[in-house]
Amino acid sequence: MSDSGRPGRMIAINWRTLRTLASRDLKVVTRSKAMMLPMVIVPLIFVVALPAAVGLFAPQMAASGEMEDLASFLEMMPASMRESFAGYNEAQVIVVALLEHFFAPMFLIIPVMVASTIAAGSFAGEKERKTLEALLHTPTTDTELFLGKLLASWVPAFTVGLSAFVLYALVVNLSAWQVMGGLFFPNATWVTLVLWLAPAAAGVGLGTMILVSSKVNSFQDAYQLGSLVVLPVILLVFGQLAGVLYLNVLTVLAIGLFLWLVDAVILWFGIRTFKRSEIIARL
């Protein structure tokens, strides 16, 4: 069908349609407890509970003398990064190592998870709620439908990511105030991570999830299949733990660039292959 965005044809995008599709999905998501709970609880654990515990209990951890794991983590760091610990006492090293370095890749889980959760519900959730058929009968083009669903997941993922970052900055600075003796967060790596890498990672997660969601029949199926997109983030966490990859401004920029390219490929592939005719045939 031509309105599926056939390659080689100019596709006119109606921005009002895109905004409407995205705001409709957002309204539905924000009114669903089942979807909102994980999107609130998981970020709260990552940006409030864990960093607050580290900030508040760093002196006790330093005093306990059990620093072997952290010491090996620091030893494996590139020399240039290790320099950032110069002049810090043990408690401060714990705070900076954990809150600035160790938690950085874990933070990516938040936008990826938010994007994936909303995207999983995009088509599969609509099939379950039996709201999809009327939507497919509207004059929206296939491209608008795909992009609208993309926006509906990407905008909240970016917004939640940014809000979580602000909250994280507040929590770490406040909880570690006594240890650090003032403001120490964020650094350039985190700012690059939040503004450059996180939105790209969210894009990969939701793009994959929307394509999966359009092919399966239930939110659960989509979520289970699509949750594999969190794997690269977990690899980043373990990569850093194993001393293979450390996040600094340069690596964050490079990984971000790679993910933006993957986003572009997913977008291109999605626009070419996303067809309402195939979705409705499975209803």
Q: How far is the CB of 165 from another protein (least distance, A)?
A: 29
Contact 278, 216 (CB under 8 A): no
Q: For the packed helices 142-175 and 249-273, what is the interaxial angle rounded to 10 degrees?
A: 160
Q: How far is the CB of 141 from another protein (least distance, A)?
A: 5
The tokens describing 237, both together, are 């966490």
Q: How many helices (H) and strands (E) does the chain have?
A: 18, 0
Closer Cβ to another protein, 20 or 84, answer by number: 20
Contact set with another protein (CB under 8 A): 1-3, 14, 16-17, 20-21, 23-24, 27-28, 31-32, 129-141, 276-277, 280-281
Q: How far is the CB of 9 from another protein (least distance, A)?
A: 11
Listing DSSP states for 27-86 in one string gives HHHHT-HHHHHHHHHHHHIIIIIHHHHHHHHHHHHHHHT--HHHHHHHHTS-HHHHGGGT
Distances (CA, A) of 24 to 210, 228, 277: 16, 27, 22
Closer Cβ to another protein, 86 or 134, answer by number: 134
Q: How far is the CB of 34 from another protein (least distance, A)?
A: 11
Q: How far is the CB of 266 from another protein (least distance, A)?
A: 23
Closer Cβ to another protein, 234 or 280, answer by number: 280
The tokens describing 74, both together, are 């620091």
Torsion of CA 211, 214, 220, 226, to 10 degrees: -10
